[in-house]
Amino acid sequence: MSIRKVHALVCGYEVSDKGALTLNKDVGKKIKIPYYSWLIEDPNHTILVDTAVSVRWKELHPKPLADAYPPHLDYEERLDVLLGMLGFKTQDIDIVINTHLHYDHCGNNEMFPKARFLVNEAELKHARRPGWWDEGGYVKALFDTAHLKYKAISNNYRVCPGISIFPTIGHTLGHQSVVVRLEKTGLLVLVGDAIYLRENIETPILPGIYWNAEEYAKSLTKLIRLAKVNKATLLFSHSSEYLTPRGWRILKSGIQSFA
Ligand SMILES: [Zn+2]
């Protein structure tokens, strides 16, 4: 039996305002934030967690979004090219988990028509009809296409032995994180946007983008507790810094694998 692995794939970056990541602090300061997609190689499934920013963003992103946050994406940072480097075709992916449906987490969903998409029920419903206050983060053309098969889930969901999804709401109303049990690393948690930066934990400080601050704080606390009590490693969607039981580490550029 092959062993389970998680591969961190860096799919380009955008330049953001740091105030969006650390509420009321460093507003106006520009910060480069990477986009990540995670490939889980399991003996029975080939799973992607988030599909990063669209390779077709110039066509699909509305102009205000494209002008404000133009993605920087080289050919070798395309999700399909990175999967190819690991020996996978897009058709090999049988499950995609979206932590939430912001444009930079479901951008390449269209590449995986053979996959079953596991998305939180409330998130899917809201992303299809967002409010005027948060519609800027959702781009329907990226995820709401007829050829994709969504399975709306709620609460805790076991994908298969060793891989589970659990709610970490607050950033959005249906945000979820993924926990993977690995032989050497132990528990690995893909937190999505439930935490942006080391600073959110250490200061602590909320990010500048959230649906509900109180729920965000609860989810952040839950994840820190999971890291401490269960010696879990936490990987974030927009930071190359990650938290291990032995302290903070930095992800390599390109592909880094955990077993
Ligand atoms: Zn987000």
46-93, pLDDT tens digit by residue?
Answer: 999 999 999 999 999 999 999 999 999 999 999 999 999 999 999 999
Q: Which fold has domain 5-258?
A: Metallo-beta-lactamase; Chain A (3.60.15)
pLDDT computed for residue 29 by the predictor: 95
To which residue do tokens 């912001």 refer?
A: 102
Region of 36 (left: φ > 0; alpha: ψ -120 to 50; beta: rest) is beta
Q: How confident is the model at residue 107 (pLDDT cuts 50, 70, 90)?
A: very high
- For residue 231, the number of C-alpha atoms closer than 13 Å in the C-beta half-sphere is 6
Q: How confident is the model at residue 24 (pLDDT cuts 50, 70, 90)?
A: confident
Average of per-residue pLDDT values in the chain = 96
Q: How far is the CA of 172 from the centre of ligand 1 (A)?
A: 7
Burial of 189 by CB count in 10 Å (0-12 exposed, 13-18 middle, 19+ buried)? buried
Q: How far is the CA of 171 from the centre of ligand 1 (A)?
A: 7
- Where do the domains of the chain lie? 5-258
Contact yes or no for 94/46 (Cβ under 8 A): yes
pLDDT computed for residue 105 by the predictor: 98
pLDDT computed for residue 254 by the predictor: 83
If you average pLDDT over residues 3-21, what whole number do you get?
Answer: 95
If you average pLDDT over residues 134-155, what whole number do you get?
Answer: 96
Task: Please determine, for residue 237, whether its predicted confidence score (pLDDT) is greater than 70.
Answer: yes
Q: How far is the CA of 230 from the centre of ligand 1 (A)?
A: 26
Q: How confident is the model at residue 97 (pLDDT cuts 50, 70, 90)?
A: very high
Residue pLDDT, tens place only, 167-206: 999 999 999 999 999 999 999 999 999 999 999 999 999 9
Instruction: Take residue 204 and report the two structure tokens written for it.
Output: 């602590």
Q: How far is the CA of 138 from the centre of ligand 1 (A)?
A: 9
Q: How confident is the model at residue 226 (pLDDT cuts 50, 70, 90)?
A: very high
CA distance to 88, 117, 133, 170, 256, per residue, from 1 (Å)? 18, 26, 48, 38, 22
pTM (predicted TM-score): 0.96
Q: How far is the CA of 1 from the centre of ligand 1 (A)?
A: 36
Q: Where are the alpha helices (DSSP H) in the chain?
A: 57-60, 63-68, 79-85, 121-128, 140-143, 198-202, 213-229
Q: How far apart are CA 4 and CA 248, in angstroms?
A: 23
Q: How confident is the model at residue 253 (pLDDT cuts 50, 70, 90)?
A: confident
Instruction: Take residue 46 and report the two structure tokens written for it.
Output: 């080939």
Q: How far is the CA of 141 from the centre of ligand 1 (A)?
A: 17
Q: Please give the share of the chain, as a percent, with pLDDT higher than 70.
A: 100
- Which residues, in sequence order, are CB contacts of 221 under 8 Å at separation 6+? none
